Amino acid sequence: MRRILVVVLLLVVVAPSHGQETAPVEVFVQQNGDSLEVFFANPATGLSTLVTVSNFPAELNPFRELSLTANGVIFRDPADGIPRLITPSGQIVGFEFIPQSTEPLMMIDWVLSEDRRTIAWAEIRLTSLGWQADIYSARLDGQNLLRLPDRPVDPVQVSRRVEMVGVSNDGRLVYFDSEHPTELEEGQVFVGYQKIIAYSQRIGSYLNLPGEPTCTCPVLIANDGLSLLRLEPTAPAFDLHIWNLNDNTERVIVGEDVPYPQAGGLMMNRDRTLALYMASDGVEYVIVLVDLSSRTERILTEPSANPLRPVRFIDRSTAIVMVDIVEQTTYKLRLDSDDITQVADKIWLGSIQE
């Protein structure tokens, strides 16, 4: 408890505004044997709530299995694979509208909007024709439920499935990978996306995005669904392609010396001036900073045997929070000096406002 409270003071990134009485709740997770512990720590009251999820496999990546919402944490329930919500009060509640199907499913994949209040999900099943999915979006309270139209069966679905990539805050723009591998290739350490497709409720149809498909690349949907970021390998570096999907224009940040063959974990700050990604050769990992204004990039961290994952820009984008998933520790890195300070002995997921 004492450790968490010290960390909260260091990591508060959403300062209460005028007239706002409640401080943000900081959320941490920790794998303990075959159980996942989720902590909600309130810096204003000095209290924390612990929720334990049993039978949570230790090899799972919490950033793949958990999603921070505006009012809690969504997790994939190990009992049945259905997403459920853990609230700061310690309750575990289901979504009455997920799943929509009454038939057995192989899995449910989901993604949240930038405001963390809208969810898009795919209900995936394996049939004699291959992997098929029904795709939906809705507010987390179940409002504005939308079912995307059925798509023709593609022969590639024999070995490829749908993977959710992004959704706009209003749920009217939904993005997914239509040819996602069912498992990582040998030696692959990051998730890549093959063919990104968008659905626009405004025009009522599916759209192929610019340049798709080009590679199995890291992709990020940002700017409330209006920007597509894609890292493309150009040894010995990665070019960052930024598409404005509103006017179909493209910017390219030419990669510099990043001597690693794989990349992933792409993220961008709120001002859309900086981006981060992870790079690796399968043995060592580094974090790379991309300055979108100066169109430059540089390696921020020394090579590490453990994956260091960036979580969030903080302090007006003068620092980042990153976590060591293996050691389950959290660090703060200052971008002006590259100084790194350990600030938690647990994994920080982020902040929520009660």
- Give the pLDDT band (50/70/90) at residue 22: low
What's the pLDDT tens digit per position in 241-279? 999 988 888 999 998 889 999 999 999 999 999 999 999
Average pLDDT for the chain: 90
Of all residues in the chain, the percent with pLDDT exceeding 90 is 75
Give 343's Cβ-side CA count (13 Å radius): 23
What mean pLDDT comes out for the span 219-230?
Answer: 94
- Give the pLDDT band (50/70/90) at residue 8: very low
Residue 321 has pLDDT above 90, yes or no: yes
Paired tokens of 352: 């929520």
Residue 341 vs residues 15, 125, 267, 288, 315: alpha-carbon distances, Å = 21, 45, 21, 18, 15
What's the pLDDT tens digit per position in 103-155? 999 999 999 999 999 999 999 999 888 899 999 999 999 999 999 999 887 77
* pLDDT for res 9: 44
* pLDDT for res 156: 75
Residue 289 vs residues 65, 240, 324, 346: alpha-carbon distances, Å = 25, 11, 17, 24
| Helix, strand, or coil (residue 140) | coil
List, in order, residues 6 or more apart from 278 with CB less than 8 Å away: 190, 263, 264, 265, 285, 286, 287, 288, 307, 308, 309, 310
What mean pLDDT comes out for the span 300-308?
Answer: 94
Residue 226 has pLDDT above 80, yes or no: yes
